[in-house]
């Protein structure tokens, strides 16, 4: 009898040890912005998984980061990795680095070595095609310094080159292209294109590794993209290169900051053998055919791909779904940006009526789905860089804010939808307190900060010279701005969800574009 008891205890210990091992996921983000690192990790942590990430300072030091990865990989069952950190030192450095092609190639080969040493590790990778911003902003630290002066011309040049390869240029366009080629110094174009060639070569090698099953899944992001530009041009090359790799193994996708959330969700689904069903519905009008700002494809196609990336399956019947995503789009398919300007630009009375009417229709959709006991989430993409205040007022009035499973209303459309999809899929395994905590994070970030507090502070900053430059780099104004942020954010929380009023707000990148929210323990 004692022997049987000891055997049972040993078996239980083995099972417990195995379960604990399966709960460890390595996570290497592509930078340390809260939406890239803290927030997606927090979602998965609500399920009890141990998320292990490198010290922040290693993210910009590829060789030391590789050493950390080699050291920790044997103790994990899955790894979600931003390849830009391991190749270039992060997403932003990937756009202005001076790394040689030889050194890049050597770093790419490290993935093969890692696989040889860790044959059972589920390895999920996300990287980026270099973006092509449509304007150059002086002082923007995310691009080479010359882009502030020549960025708009570079974008226009590549837009015409892309169009020239797809169709034909008319006489005026040919003349404009020739003028642009003369206006932009050769050394600037040489630098800009040479870096892109190196990065594209590294991406193709990672695709080879995905084809050979060294990498389990690889997403390539097209950040701040447009229907015609250099990013779109390079993506056409990649799509041809990827023809023999199924979408269940690799994708090129509009966006990038949502990839960590999607792949962490996929890692959990693969570890648990789960295949979640997701239904998607859109607001009236253009709906799924909307091509949002910063994207080169219809949002319906993007969302279908995001479901697949997360390890789920689209289903047309909401009654069969584990998660139902309702997407707030503009009836005419437009994207608006009312919140990310300094000074803010107020809406006209006509615009207010238009948005209010649209929000009312969509909020009724949400209410109907909730009343049917469907597991509902909202992706609010009518505005870039902030939630729709008209919609939020409707959801609050209908007492729906904390009856959702997930919410997204930040940054670009695919950032928003991807984060909402990942969170909504995983919410099925969470208790209500965890779901509400994640919802409050989004409400504080997307609604309070991006759609209100940032605008209020932008208005306040107009008393200083060059207020938009302060937006981009707070410098000596940071203590003053952070103090005002915390006051305004807490006032907002007290008014809308007073039970969640213990938090601190900061700006880790020393700019107004994003904030970090830390709840008191």
Domains and CATH numbers, the chain: 21-133+197-273 (3.40.50), 279-519 (no CATH)
Which residue in 422, 346, 417 sits closest to 384, CA to CA? 417
Q: What percent of the chain has pLDDT over 90?
A: 85
| pLDDT tens digits, one per residue of 189-227 | 999 999 999 999 999 999 999 999 999 999 999 877 788
> Are 486 and 453 a contacting pair, CB within 8 Å?
no
d(CA 453, CA 459): 10
Q: Read off the pLDDT of residues 301-316 as tens digits, 9 standing for 90 and up.
A: 999 999 999 999 999 9
Sheet containing 376-380, strands listed edge to edge, beginning at the edge strand earlier in sequence: 313-314, 277-282, 323-328, 376-380, 406-408
- Whether the per-residue pLDDT at 141 is higher than 90: the answer is no
- pLDDT tops 90 at residue 182: yes
Statement: residue 296 has pLDDT above 90: no
Cα(481)–Cα(243) distance, integer angstroms: 49
Q: For strands 313-314 and 323-328, give the pairing.
A: unpaired
User: Is the pLDDT reported for residue 337 higher than 90?
Assistant: no
What number of helices (H) and strands (E) belong to the chain? Answer: 18, 13
| In the predicted structure, residue 9 carries a pLDDT above the cut 90 | no
- For residues 423-444, give the mean pLDDT: 97
pLDDT at 10 over 50: no
- In this predicted structure, the answer to whether residue 284 has a pLDDT above a threshold of 80 is yes
Question: Does the structure show a pLDDT above 50 at 384?
Answer: yes
Judge contact between 136 and 152, C-beta under 8 A: yes
Scan for tokens 């994708």, then name that residue: 251
Predicted pLDDT of residue 5: 41
Q: Confidence band (pLDDT; 50, 70, 90) for 521?
A: low
What integer pLDDT is reported at residue 161 of this predicted model? Answer: 97
Token pair listed for 493? 């929380």
Quick check: helix, strand or coil at residue 340?
A: coil
Q: Which tokens sit at 118? A: 């860790």
Percent of the chain whose pLDDT exceeds 70: 95
């Amino acid at each position: 009898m004692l022997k049987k008891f000891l055997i049972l205890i040993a078996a239980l210990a083995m099972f417990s040890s195995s379960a604990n091992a399966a709960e460890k996921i390595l996570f290497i983000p592509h930078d340390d912005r809260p939406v890239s690192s803290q927030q997606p990790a927090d979602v998965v942590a609500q399920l009890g998984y141990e998320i292990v990430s490198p010290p922040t300072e290693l993210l910009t030091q590829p060789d030391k980061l590789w050493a950390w990865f080699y050291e920790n990989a044997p103790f994990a069952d899955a790894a979600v990795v931003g390849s830009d950190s391991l190749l270039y030192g992060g997403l932003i450095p990937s756009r202005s680095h001076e790394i040689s092609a030889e050194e890049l190639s050597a770093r790419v080969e490290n993935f093969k070595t890692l696989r040889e040493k860790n044959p059972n590790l589920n390895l999920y990778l996300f990287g980026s095609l270099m973006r092509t911003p449509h304007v150059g902003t002086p002082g923007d630290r995310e691009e080479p310094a010359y882009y502030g002066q020549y960025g708009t011309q570079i974008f226009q040049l590549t837009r015409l080159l892309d169009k020239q390869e797809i169709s034909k240029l008319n006489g005026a366009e040919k003349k404009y292209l020739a003028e642009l080629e003369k206006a932009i110094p050769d050394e600037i174009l040489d630098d800009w294109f040479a870096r892109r060639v190196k990065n594209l070569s590294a991406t193709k090698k990672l695709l080879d590794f995905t084809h050979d099953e060294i990498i389990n899944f690889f997403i390539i992001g097209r950040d701040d993209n447009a229907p015609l530009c250099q990013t779109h041009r390079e993506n056409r090359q990649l799509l041809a290169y990827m023809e023999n790799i199924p979408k269940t193994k690799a994708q090129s996708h509009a966006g990038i900051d949502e990839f960590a959330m999607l792949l962490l969700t996929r890692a959990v689904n693969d570890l648990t053998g789960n295949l979640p069903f997701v239904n998607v519905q859109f607001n009236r009008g253009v709906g799924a055919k909307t091509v949002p700002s910063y994207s080169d494809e219809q949002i319906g196609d993007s969302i279908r791909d995001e479901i697949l990336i997360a390890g789920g399956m689209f289903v047309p019947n909401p009654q069969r779904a584990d998660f139902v995503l309702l997407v707030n789009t503009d009836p005419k398919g437009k994207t608006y940006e009312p919140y990310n300007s300094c000074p803010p630009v107020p809406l006209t009375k006509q615009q207010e009526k238009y948005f209010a009417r649209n929000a009312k229709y969509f909020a009724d959709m949400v209410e109907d789905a909730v009343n049917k006991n469907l597991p509902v989430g909202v992706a609010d993409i009518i505005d870039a860089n902030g939630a729709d205040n008209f919609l939020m007022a409707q959801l609050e009035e209908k007492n729906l804010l904390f009856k959702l499973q997930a919410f997204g209303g930040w940054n670009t459309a695919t950032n928003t939808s991807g984060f909402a999809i990942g969170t909504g899929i995983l919410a099925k395994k969470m208790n209500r307190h965890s779901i509400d905590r994640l919802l409050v994070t989004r409400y504080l970030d997307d609604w309070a900060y991006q759609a209100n507090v940032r605008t209020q502070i932008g208005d306040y900053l107009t008393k200083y010279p060059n207020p938009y430059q302060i937006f981009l780099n707070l410098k000596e104004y940071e203590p003053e701005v952070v103090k005002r942020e915390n006051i305004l954010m807490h006032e907002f929380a007290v008014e809308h969800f007073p039970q969640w009023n213990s938090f601190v707000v900061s700006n880790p990148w020393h700019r107004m574009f994003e904030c970090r929210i830390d709840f008191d323990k």
